Amino acid sequence: MKYRSEGPAAYVLRMSRWHRWFAWRPVRVGTHECRWLEFVERKRVWYGIGETSARYTEYRPAPAPYKS
């Protein structure tokens, strides 16, 4: 979700960092590993310049929540 107060550069910077995301659809987090209906971490990767630019999303398993 893009916030109204942030510009395009801030959105790209925020989405380029690893952040928690609830996998409401199956996502591949490894070569032979998928996650579904649980939290994972994701980040967007942009490459290219101008009209030829593109993006893809990387996923990885979220660390287990800390329990004391």
pLDDT number for residue 42:
94
Residue pLDDT tens, the chain, 68 long: 566 788 888 888 888 999 999 999 999 998 899 999 999 999 999 888 777 778 889 999 998 877 66
> What is the extent of the structural domain holding 25?
18-61
Residue 35 lies in a domain: yes
Residue 42 lies in a domain: yes
Residue 12 lies in a domain: no
pLDDT number for residue 3:
65
What six digits make up the tokens of 20? 């928690």
> 40 Cβ partners below 8 Å, 6+ apart?
20, 21, 22, 23, 27, 29, 59, 60, 61, 62
Question: Considering its fold, how many domains does the chain have in total?
Answer: 1
